Amino acid sequence: MITGLFRLLRLLWQGLNFTRRLIANALLVLVLLLLFGGYALFANKPAAPPPPEGAALFIRPQGAITEQLERASSFDLLMDAQGSMPGAALHEYIEAIDVAAGDSRITGLVLETGDIAGASLGRLAELRAAIERFRAAGKPVYAWGERFTQGQYFLASAADRVHVSPDGAVLLAGLARYQNYFKSALDKIGVKVHVFRVGAYKSFGEPFTRDEMSEEDRQSTLDLLTGLWGQMRQTVEKSRKLTPEALADYVQRYPDHLARTRGDAAQAALDAGLVDELLTRDQWQAQLRARFGADADDPDSFRKVTPARYLAHAGKENASAPVIAVLTVQGTIIDGETQAGTTGGDTLAAQIRKARNDARVRALVLRIDSPGGSAFASELIRRELQLTRNAGKPVIASMSGTAASGGYWVASGADEIWALPSTLTGSIGIFALLPELVDTANHLGIHTDGVGTAPLAGLPDPLRPLPPDAQRSAQLMLEHGYRRFLEVVAEARKMSPREVDQVGQGRVWTGEAAHKLGLVDQLGTLPQAIAAAAARAGIAGEPQVRWEVPEPSLGEMLLSLLGELALTDARARPSLASTLLQQWRTELAALHTLNDPQNLYAHCFCDLSQTR
């Protein structure tokens, strides 16, 4: 009987094993079919026709405007069943606009902002600068929106003429930073959070240890918001030829403006001089057809070319030209390999080494849009930049919307640091965060006990109290990390550690303020930073600019293909609820990515709601 039972179990196991192999092989065949099918699809795709004469460059960014397009993670693809809009790479828009400015075939630029889901003030300012260069070349720019959020209008206001739908609005409300504080809630469930920091303005841990904003954080944040709002307001006033009083009155007394138009928000914006004309979608298209001619394939539309199609015909790479390699630091800096929404220290360090050893690469530009993260990974990247400079290749850091804390640590490895006036930078400080769940566990009847060979053995453990020796050790390590941060910046900026400490302490500065304080060398855009790199490298003529991206693995290529297929018929704009859920998910994901091997972080939570 026992023998028969074992025989039955063996047969069941063999059956399960056969089924497992069958499923695995079927999945492998499916993967190969998708890969080869996708390759054939794209390989046989006919080349896009060149832009027609007299066409407009048509820009309608989809999703978030980022420095570099990110490959979606498998989790994103599985969870985002409805299909979110793809992101837009900022540098591709800038390149298309700058090239089109000198192209006689392109007679204007048309901008629609309705699908922009998010962008920092810095990225919008970079795009605005490219639009202004286009206008300076003598070519008109037209903008239209069904409605304008604050960030969308900031971009659209760069146009010669701005139009909004008669049922739309221009929503300008100023800048704000509000966040939740959890101390009382954590106390109720028995959670204690140990936060160690160096820097009076390093406020990351405050939501876990307080129920309100500290006075230091309140004052520094207000100063920062005031500076950024002043830059936004002055830029719009100059473009729209408005007086400071007129724009301030519209923002501060918006209900009164609505009352004068009986609640008609579009008319209120027109009366205030924020827009030039109210046009429905069909009226907008009719004006564009009259200006640029009808599209050959779509008589209801106008003659236009998208940036991707335009750049495909803008010219081929010159194989003999010297190269400026542009590498991106985007999102939280983490230890190890790059993941979706982050920059992995090991991945970027390998990219820098590859560029350093490439004979064609004469200089390197590091484009930074990061609040920092792992102190260890930040130093790893900075060290590779230093080795690149030692090898005789100039390095320029170009700051986008944010280059704070670890982002600034990385930038200090460059020969020059360039920033935008609206860049959020500085935040020279360091922190560590260790949760303790002992009271919560005890309430649930969970108790921890055991033995160790030393007082700190087995720590940190969230289910054991953090002893004084562990807390003292953490603070000492933190203070050493801060001194190291000061030394790195002091050497790079030719300042004393004491001088750096005076502008450090975790305080965030605008690029404009950082320039005055000596933390930034020049204020300027990415193209200006690239030109500075070419000048340092002694490159005569136009260099070849090459954006370096990590090579995707086979699995990532498959996920990217699946994502493109999933998004083919799913470009719906996110609802307000889904946008808020995505923001909360992003905040939680940011905590999840904190993986420094010593739990020491040079990270700034710098989201100031610039474009909401």
Q: How far apart are CA 504 and CA 5, in angstroms?
A: 73
Q: Are 226 and 145 in contact (CB under 8 A)?
A: no
Is 165 an annotated catalytic residue?
no
Nearest to 293 by CA among 135, 444, 165, 107: 107
Torsion of CA 291, 294, 295, 298, to 10 degrees: 130
Distances (CA, A) of 440 to 183, 195, 443: 14, 18, 5
SS (H, E, C) 334-392: ECCCCCCCEEEHHHHHHHHHHHHCCCCEEEEEEEEEECEEEHHHHHHHHHHHHHHHHCC
Q: How far apart are CA 393 and CA 355, in angstroms?
A: 10
3-state secondary structure of 472: helix
Q: Are 375 and 595 in contact (CB under 8 A)?
A: no
Q: How far apart are CA 133 and CA 4, in angstroms?
A: 84
Distances (CA, A) of 410 to 211, 349, 373, 397: 33, 11, 11, 9
Annotated catalytic residue, options 84, 157, 165, 202: 202
Cis peptide leading into residue 140 (ω within 30°): no
Nearest to 203 by CA among 185, 216, 184, 222: 216
CA 82 remoteness from chain centre:
23
Q: How far apart are CA 395 and CA 365, in angstroms?
A: 6
Q: How far apart are CA 108 and CA 53, in angstroms?
A: 11
Q: How far apart are CA 181 and CA 292, in angstroms?
A: 54
Burial 116-152 (b: 16+ CB within 10 A, else e): bbbbbbbbbbbbbbbbeebbeeebebbbbbbbbbbbb
Angle at Cα 279 formed by Cα 278 and Cα 280, nearest 5°? Answer: 135
Distances (CA, A) of 425 to 122, 182, 513, 603: 11, 27, 9, 11
Annotated catalytic residue, options 84, 239, 398, 405: 405
Nearest to 348 by CA among 377, 317, 325: 377
3-state helix, strand, coil in the chain (%, to 5): 45, 20, 35
Q: Which residues contact 45 (CB under 8 A, 6 or more apart)?
A: none
Q: Which residues contact 81 (CB under 8 A, 6 or more apart)?
A: none
Q: Are 324 and 57 in contact (CB under 8 A)?
A: no
Q: How far apart are CA 415 and CA 388, in angstroms?
A: 10
Structure tokens given for 402: 């944010």
Is 202 an annotated catalytic residue?
yes
Nearest to 200 by CA among 178, 179, 219: 219
Type and span of the H or E element at 402: strand 395-404
Type and span of the H or E element at 66: strand 63-66
CA 545 remoteness from chain centre:
21
Residue 327: strand pairing partners? 366
Cite the active site residues: 202, 405
